[in-house]
Chain A
Amino acid sequence: MIKRIPLWGKIWIFLMVLGPGIITSFADNDAGGITTYSIAGSHFGYKLLWVLVLVTFALAIIQEMTARLGVVTNKGLADLIREEFGLRWTLFAMLTLLVANSATIISNFAGIAAGFELMGVAKFFSVPIMAFFIWLFVVKGNYRQVERIFLLLCLLAFSYVASGFLARPDWGEAVRATFMPNISWSSEYLLLLVAFIGTTITPWMQFYLQASIVDKGISLKRYKYERAEVLLGAFFTDFISLFIIIACAATLFRHGIRIEAAKDAALALRPFAGSAAEMLFALGLIGASTLTSFIVPLSTSYALCEAFGFESGLDRKFQEAPIFYGLYTVLIVAGSALILIPRLSLVFVMYLAQAIQGFLLPIILIFMLMLVNNRRLMGIHVNNRFYNLVVWLMVLGIAAASLALVFFMI
């Protein structure tokens, strides 16, 4: 007699076997991501859709590069940087990563705070409790299962797809904006551009994805499956991003509403969820923020310990790996404590964090480019010219936008 697996069982199994590519892409649409895309849609309508197309393309290429680097060398990104560039450059790269990741951590605690505030829970309760909860599950080593629950909450992001259709957007305008680049030379637009790129392609993702791939021990033979998963993940992420922008453009932008707080952003879900929009938005935000809060502090500690040769790993005791656990704890405590500052604009924090990541991304990308083009490391698997061209254009593009932004701000 064949035992039938109930539906929830099947979902559970599917979630348990999800690969690094998919998890990374889920975590990519974190608090900062949702906020940035919402701002893009509600402040500029469809105007940034062309950027999304290019960024998706770059994301796919960069993620593929990261995966290839992991599969061929069997080493984490931090490992490779240390071994190929020496200590001083490693210090520089790790400082960059630490700043970018701290920004991400803070932004996700802001996401947790904003989500709970929509549900009527003050941040002074929600943030310390969630921070402790995240810390505890990771240190006790059974966070993997808990992580899946939040992954499930991330699926709520699909409600943007429904909302996007139901809001009756101007499809003609959307398609036109997708293929017709337009840049407005204002500091507001440029900041959004940098944040937009920074939230889609983040420094931490490259470290996390490569580490997960090395962890899984994916062989070169099986690489084509991994590549498929990574590419799928990239397109999936931006499919959601696309609908966040469309839903916001069709609702908030049409009515001239600017996002000042999380409850404004929740309005974009009205066409689909009606009065439950705020609740839906809150749950999705909490899910995405918590998932990322599990991943980023841990991935940061791993990367730093890896680079400087400190003992790391959740299978070690606190006494055996004091720096690893210490750093992890400090990141969570400091990140969550900052959010408790009274009258802090959570939306602004989330948004600014993405811009910081955008500014710092080129540094990490240059390290990666040099590694992936190193024939001694990669053999025949070095980048082809097209890849190099795309990534270099990306680096120059962000650098140019950042410089222009600085110029406009002064």
Chain B
Amino acid sequence: MYASELIGDPVVDRVQEPVGKVKDILIVLGEVFPKVSGLLITAEHDRKEKVLLLGEIDLIGKQFVATKSVKDRVPLTTLREGDILLARDVMDKQIVDVEGVRVIRVNDLKLAKVDQEVRLIAADVGLSGLLRRIGLLGAVGWLLSLFGRKVPETLIGWDHVEPLKTDLAKGRIAIPTKKTEDLHPADIAQIISQVHTEERTAIFTALSEKTAAEALHELEPMIGAMLLSTVDTKKALNILEKMPVDEAADLLGDLPPEKTEEFLRLIKVKKAAEIRKLLTHHDETAGGLMTTEFITLPQNLTIEQTINRLREQAPNAETIYYLYVVDEAERLMGVLSLRNLIIASPEKILSEVMIKDCITVTPEMNQRQVAGIISKYNLLAVPVVDADHKISGIITVDDVMDFILPPVSRQKRQMVG
């Protein structure tokens, strides 16, 4: 959603009674992608300008804004000195694009819903912004589509924006620069998924390897794969190394085969072998969903030995809430939860305390069925076993959670259009 689309929108209460009209948008500074704190509206009854705080708003859309309470109960405040308004203080002004090192004018501003907040995420500095402001974007877009072209959209992520120095000197707007890193990776992912391709790359390349790895998990594998192929190979490798194998496999599965092969040759041999194994499974089956990073233990270990071993092994495993007990041929004999382990007396051996008939799934099983099983038995993870009852991987609850309830970035945006 763009600031220009929001400004001028009618504000209605919960029973559709008119409250006023959006005049401007208030933001609070302090974060890379500033939060919208409220709307400046022209009140319906007395034509005065009032502030409607975000907390009082039920829905913000391109067509209208709806408040939570009824007309007469809507709390309105007044504008304070030092409040920053998008249309008054930011739109039409010049900004410095730190990445491209150039001065550019703000034609429009892109807003997006990130979690419960609405944030300013990018400045539209191109033709599309101009056309949208004068209400011709639709018409020109249609005309160009006749020739198979699109109106070029030029967005600059707010993380790469600094106000022009001359404006700063006059104390008009001062937007402190802060790193994207300070945001939660899931939020970064959401912002990435909503900006223009070029800007995605710019935001992504600026991230540290660790944050990039975490953010990639939250993104659609298609977008992730695209981003991964834009950074240089060394950085891509480091990012892949920091990702759990199953997610790395998901990502590589969306890359062209020769690119995948190139990465696999360069990744550490052991990890590459696991990824290769995972890549053979179909995406939508248990095999495609599972991770190969889990903890297996021999039957004859004592509880005490087990705890010691966990301390050594655990850092690599995706989950340690379930421990899988196997025989010499890697066949699954039983399962033990962390709780079982801790409450058992230290000298007992594993085969005595483990649960023998545990729930398992096969690699070919459809992911929907897997999700059903995890949900039915309230599991944190389920082991994947082959025909010989050999354990080949586990599927954790957050893997199927992504399937049942996709990460925020993949959802259809509800509040912000």
Binding site for B on A (CB under 8 A): 74-75, 79, 82-83, 86-88, 90-91, 306-309, 311
- Asked if A87 and B133 make an inter-chain contact with CB atoms under 8 angstroms apart, the answer reads yes
Shortest Cβ distance from residue A351 to the other chain B in the assembled complex, whole angstroms: 35
- Asked if B104 and A311 make an inter-chain contact with CB atoms under 8 angstroms apart, the answer reads yes
Shortest Cβ distance from residue B47 to the other chain A in the assembled complex, whole angstroms: 20
- Asked if B130 and A83 make an inter-chain contact with CB atoms under 8 angstroms apart, the answer reads no
- Asked if B134 and A309 make an inter-chain contact with CB atoms under 8 angstroms apart, the answer reads no
- Asked if B130 and A87 make an inter-chain contact with CB atoms under 8 angstroms apart, the answer reads yes
Q: Which residues of the other chain, B, contact A88 by a CB distance below 8 angstroms?
A: 134
0/1 string, B155-185, CB within 8 A of A gives 1: 0000000000010000000000000000000
Q: Which residues of the other chain, B, contact A311 by a CB distance below 8 angstroms?
A: 102, 104
Cβ of B106 within 8 Å of any chain A Cβ, yes or no, is yes
Closest to B135 in A: A88
Complex alpha-carbon distance, A340 and B195, angstroms: 49
Complex alpha-carbon distance, A311 and B104, angstroms: 7
- Asked if A308 and B102 make an inter-chain contact with CB atoms under 8 angstroms apart, the answer reads no
Complex alpha-carbon distance, A308 and B92, angstroms: 9
Q: Which residues of the other chain, B, contact A308 by a CB distance below 8 angstroms?
A: 105, 107, 130
- Asked if A87 and B166 make an inter-chain contact with CB atoms under 8 angstroms apart, the answer reads no
Cβ of B125 within 8 Å of any chain A Cβ, yes or no, is yes
Given contacts A83-B93, A87-B134, contact A74 B105 (CB under 8 A): no
Of A74, A86, A87, the most chain B CB neighbours within 10 A belong to A87
Closest 5 CB pairs of A and B: A309-B105, A87-B133, A82-B92, A83-B92, A74-B166
Q: Which residues of the other chain, B, contact A91 by a CB distance below 8 angstroms?
A: 134
Q: Name A's interface SS.
A: helix
B 70-120 contacts with A by CB, 8 A: 92-94, 102, 104-107
Shortest Cβ distance from residue A117 to the other chain B in the assembled complex, whole angstroms: 42
Closest to A305 in B: B105
- Asked if A309 and B125 make an inter-chain contact with CB atoms under 8 angstroms apart, the answer reads yes
Given contacts A74-B166, A75-B166, A309-B125, contact A87 B105 (CB under 8 A): no
Contact among A74, A75, A87 with B92 in the assembled complex (CB-CB below 8 Å): A87
A-B contact pairs, 29 of them (CB 8 A): A74-B166, A75-B166, A79-B94, A82-B92, A82-B105, A83-B92, A83-B93, A83-B94, A86-B92, A87-B92, A87-B107, A87-B130, A87-B133, A87-B134, A88-B134, A90-B92, A91-B134, A307-B105, A308-B105, A308-B130, A309-B94, A309-B104, A309-B105, A309-B106, A309-B107, A309-B125, A309-B130, A311-B102, A311-B104
Closest to B123 in A: A309
Binding site for A on B (CB under 8 A): 92-94, 102, 104-107, 125, 130, 133-134, 166
Q: Which residues of the other chain, A, contact B166 by a CB distance below 8 angstroms?
A: 74-75
Complex alpha-carbon distance, A306 and B93, angstroms: 11
Closest to B87 in A: A86
- A-B interface contact total, Cβ < 8 Å: 31
Q: Which residues of the other chain, A, contact B133 by a CB distance below 8 angstroms?
A: 87
Closest to A306 in B: B105
Q: Which residues of the other chain, A, contact B125 by a CB distance below 8 angstroms?
A: 309
Shortest Cβ distance from residue B161 to the other chain A in the assembled complex, whole angstroms: 13
Complex alpha-carbon distance, A231 and B289, angstroms: 79
Complex alpha-carbon distance, A87 and B127, angstroms: 12
Closest to A307 in B: B105
Complex alpha-carbon distance, A88 and B131, angstroms: 11
Complex alpha-carbon distance, A91 and B125, angstroms: 16
Closest to B125 in A: A309
Shortest Cβ distance from residue B6 to the other chain A in the assembled complex, whole angstroms: 16
Closest to A74 in B: B166
Shortest Cβ distance from residue A321 to the other chain B in the assembled complex, whole angstroms: 10
Complex alpha-carbon distance, A128 and B93, angstroms: 39
Complex alpha-carbon distance, A308 and B133, angstroms: 12
Complex alpha-carbon distance, A399 and B133, angstroms: 31
Shortest Cβ distance from residue A379 to the other chain B in the assembled complex, whole angstroms: 10
Q: Which residues of the other chain, B, contact A75 by a CB distance below 8 angstroms?
A: 166
Shortest Cβ distance from residue B102 to the other chain A in the assembled complex, whole angstroms: 7
Q: Which residues of the other chain, A, contact B102 by a CB distance below 8 angstroms?
A: 311
Shortest Cβ distance from residue B325 to the other chain A in the assembled complex, whole angstroms: 65
Q: Which residues of the other chain, A, contact B93 by a CB distance below 8 angstroms?
A: 83
Shortest Cβ distance from residue B115 to the other chain A in the assembled complex, whole angstroms: 31
Shortest Cβ distance from residue A68 to the other chain B in the assembled complex, whole angstroms: 17
Complex alpha-carbon distance, A246 and B104, angstroms: 49
Q: Which residues of the other chain, B, contact A307 by a CB distance below 8 angstroms?
A: 105
Q: Which residues of the other chain, A, contact B130 by a CB distance below 8 angstroms?
A: 87, 308-309
Complex alpha-carbon distance, A82 and B94, angstroms: 10
Of B102, B105, B133, the most chain A CB neighbours within 10 A belong to B105
Closest to B166 in A: A74
Shortest Cβ distance from residue A56 to the other chain B in the assembled complex, whole angstroms: 34
Of A87, A308, A309, the most chain B CB neighbours within 10 A belong to A309
Shortest Cβ distance from residue B354 to the other chain A in the assembled complex, whole angstroms: 67
Shortest Cβ distance from residue B81 to the other chain A in the assembled complex, whole angstroms: 14
Closest to A214 in B: B166
Complex alpha-carbon distance, A233 and B92, angstroms: 34
Closest to A90 in B: B92
Complex alpha-carbon distance, A307 and B130, angstroms: 11
Shortest Cβ distance from residue B346 to the other chain A in the assembled complex, whole angstroms: 71
Closest to A379 in B: B170
Q: Which residues of the other chain, A, contact B134 by a CB distance below 8 angstroms?
A: 87-88, 91
Complex alpha-carbon distance, A74 and B133, angstroms: 27
Shortest Cβ distance from residue B104 to the other chain A in the assembled complex, whole angstroms: 6
Q: Which residues of the other chain, A, contact B106 by a CB distance below 8 angstroms?
A: 309
Shortest Cβ distance from residue A94 to the other chain B in the assembled complex, whole angstroms: 11
Q: Which residues of the other chain, B, contact A83 by a CB distance below 8 angstroms?
A: 92-94
Complex alpha-carbon distance, A233 and B240, angstroms: 68
Complex alpha-carbon distance, A308 and B154, angstroms: 13
